[in-house]
Amino acid sequence: MTRYVLRAASLAVALGIWQLLTSLNIDLWLRFSQFPTVADVARAFADRLSGPDYWTDLTDSLTRILTGFLLAAVLGVATGVLVARSRLAEDLLGPVLEVVRPIPAIALVPVAILLFPSNEQGIVFITFTAAFFPVLVSTRHAVRALTPVWEEAVLTMGGGRWRILGSVVLPGALPGIFGGLSVGIGVSWICVISAEMISGQYGVGYRTWQDYTVVNYAGVFVGMVTIGVLGWLTSTAVEVLGRRLTRWLPRTSYVPAGRTPRRVSRAAAAVPASPTPQEDVPHDQLV
Amino acid sequence: MTSSSDARSPSRTGAALALHGATLGRPGAPVLDGVDLEVAPGEILTVVGPSGCGKSTLLRTLSGLLSPLAGEAGQDGRPLTGPAADRALIFQEDALLPWRTLRANVELPLAIKGLPRAERRRQAEAWLERVGLAEQSRHLPHRVSGGQRQRAQLARALAGAPRAVLMDEPFGALDAQTRAGMQDLLVEVLHGTGATVVFVTHDVDEALFLGDRVALIGSGHLTAVRDVPRPRDRTAHDDPARVALRREVLTSLGT
């Protein structure tokens, strides 16, 4: 509970400093006099929320990023597994992938414009490319790092290639895959917003850039806050899903203990020796 | 792959598991040479030798994970063509899938055989009960002790009803007390399955307690196969036959 209070306080202090600097028109080396105040932004936000465009922008951006990201997740995992498990696939795909990988997805805008009949598909393509490589690389690493005895055990039970894929490779690589997905969703946002700024119609990035060109600075900040919140929500969704699917990972009991649990354990220690004190601690952590 | 003369073909023997004139190891790195070994149906053969002598290579070859570099490997008169459910392998290290509960791990070979869910659940529970893990069947492997994990591995191996069980120092990482308990459990659980067992160990007493016969490996060869006096007895230290055998095994280990 205290942790949430601390987190809320951290946000509140940041907003407070912003409001202070802008409302006092502080002009030292950094010039806050041109900056909209928090109150300005809040007012602009309220106006936006009541108009129809805001929600269209929101759903457009979300549709683009989800389409691109889901495609990247599926194809990234599939390609990563293929490249990690098959020498032929590695030889055939590896060089192309390694050459394309360092190109920033946003630099593919001209390619997208040439390739795709509509801007919409181009934006999805750029978002896809952005997320594809982090997912691919972390999947490849995770699959190569799998303990060989897991596979050998399933082989000696008579399991075939698909059984090993479904029962060993995918579940075993899942923690690593989700590392790539977390990175991927972040990069996807960067690229969807940039692509919208360059070539979009509707979308949060498009709107933010429009506001900038018509000198509506409060509107620019509304856009930025929106991007921030959406990005945070989607990364949290990926992380929560990842944690649910990898619940089997042995977690060390002492790391997340923080402040509150310590107080709890002191209270528990006050109770005279409980009958089964270490029942829930995994054996390997008792040593 | 197999180029041996037909006179020594495994199909002519009544052995459950057989190696004939076999060279074992990874390609380019042979570890054991000229291995001739026949394991009778239902027998427990223990294999002892110093570490690095090729015991694990022998087991991996019998499991089908490795092919012999020369010579032949066979089961029940047929040459081995790769790993199969007929030959379960139990590893020294923890080979349970950590994201599956003990029961789900034991269900795995049954699922591979295509049993319906309810039936494999029932059989898995029954096997876990036989190895004394009924209470822990819903636990994840990291929640139970090393000895319990090895018992679960045993249950998983036997659940698939293999005709041969290959065990690679399965109790090597356990303390002496747990280990003795596991040996008793193994003998008890194997009883009635009719499974042929090849059990690799570096512990002489374990080899002599479990084995119907004991095979000695040293300096790149299978040096001898000896019958072990019966019945099983951990305390018969004054029996001259056992003392002589124990001395021979210890000598072969170079201790």
pLDDT at A170: 93
Element (H, E) at B105: helix B102-112
pLDDT at A112: 85
CB B19 within 8 A of CB B13: no
Pair A7, A141 in one domain:
no
Pair A174, A232 in one domain:
yes
CB B107 within 8 A of CB B48: no
**B145 in reach of chain A (CB within 8 A):** yes
A260 assigned to some structural domain: no
**B84 in reach of chain A (CB within 8 A):** yes
A258 assigned to some structural domain: no
Sort A132 into a burial class: Cβ within 10 Å, 0-12 / 13-18 / 19+.
buried
Cβ–Cβ gap A157/B160 under 8 Å? yes
Q: Please name the member of B88, B100, B144 whose beta carbon is closest to the beta carbon of A156.
A: B88
Residue A94 — φ and ψ, nearest 5°? -50, -55
A91 assigned to some structural domain: yes
Pair A77, A3 in one domain:
no
Residue of A nearest to B145 (CA): A283
Pair A22, A112 in one domain:
no
CATH label of the domain that carries residue A58 = 1.10.3720.10
pLDDT at B105: 93
Pair A6, A125 in one domain:
no
Domain ranges, residue A30:
1-35
CA-based nearest distance A248→chain B, Å = 5
Cβ–Cβ gap B145/A154 under 8 Å? no
Pair A12, A50 in one domain:
no
Pair A14, A126 in one domain:
no
Total structural domains in chain A?
A: 2
Residues of chain A with C-beta less than 8 angstroms from the C-beta of B109: 157-158
CA-based nearest distance A106→chain B, Å = 38
Q: How far is CA B39 from CA A28, A37, B45, B73, B214, in A?
A: 89, 85, 7, 12, 11
Pair A75, A105 in one domain:
yes
DSSP 8-state code for residue B155:
H
Q: Please name the member of A156, A167, A282 whose beta carbon is closest to the beta carbon of B83.
A: A156
Cβ–Cβ gap A152/B146 under 8 Å? no
Cβ–Cβ gap B97/A284 under 8 Å? no
Strands (E), B17-107: 17-26, 29-39, 44-48, 70-75, 78-79, 87-90
pLDDT at A253: 54
Q: How many residues does chain B have?
A: 255
Pick the closest to residue A158 from B86, B204, B208 (CA basis): B86
User: Using a CB cutoff of 8 Å and minimum separation of 24, what contacts does B56-59 make?
Assistant: B56/B168, B56/B169, B56/B200, B57/B24, B57/B25, B57/B31, B57/B32, B58/B19, B58/B24, B58/B32, B58/B198, B58/B200, B58/B217, B59/B89, B59/B166, B59/B167, B59/B168, B59/B198, B59/B200
What type of residue is A38? V
Beta bridge partners of B218: B221
Kindly report, residue by residue over B5-60, the tens digit of the pLDDT: 444 444 445 778 888 887 888 888 888 888 888 888 888 899 988 877 888 888 88
Kindly report, residue by residue over B102-152, the tens digit of the pLDDT: 999 999 999 998 889 999 999 999 989 888 888 888 999 988 888 889 889
Residues of chain B with C-beta less than 8 angstroms from the C-beta of A157: 85, 88, 108-109, 112, 156, 160
Count other C-beta atoms under 10 Å from residue B67's C-beta: 17
Cβ–Cβ gap A149/B64 under 8 Å? no
Q: What gap in Å lies between CA A3 and CA A1, rounded to an integer?
A: 5
**B89 in reach of chain A (CB within 8 A):** yes
Spans of all domains in chain B: 95-161
Average pLDDT taken over every residue of chain B: 83
Pair A88, A167 in one domain:
yes
Q: Which residue has the tokens 């876990």?
A: B128
Q: What gap in Å lies between CA B16 and CA B45, rounded to an integer?
A: 11
The reported pTM is: 0.79
A199 assigned to some structural domain: yes
pLDDT at A185: 92
CA atoms within 13 A on the CB side of B78: 6
pLDDT at B9: 43
Pair A90, A198 in one domain:
yes
Cβ–Cβ gap B88/A171 under 8 Å? no
Pair A57, A134 in one domain:
yes
A235 assigned to some structural domain: yes
Q: What gap in Å lies between CA A180 and CA A198, rounded to an integer?
A: 27
A254 assigned to some structural domain: no
**B26 in reach of chain A (CB within 8 A):** no
Residue B126 — φ and ψ, nearest 5°? -65, -45
Q: Please name the member of B85, B99, B142 whose beta carbon is closest to the beta carbon of A157.
A: B85
Pair A48, A175 in one domain:
yes
Q: List, in sequence order, the alpha helices (H) in chain A.
A: 2-23, 38-50, 53-85, 87-100, 109-115, 119-144, 148-156, 161-164, 170-199, 204-213, 217-245, 260-270
Walking along chain A (287 residues) 10 residues at a time, the average pLDDT comes out as 88 89 82 82 86 85 92 94 90 88 85 86 90 93 92 89 91 92 91 84 85 84 88 91 86 52 44 43 42
Q: How far is CA B72 from CA B34, B65, B78, B89, in A?
A: 10, 14, 10, 19
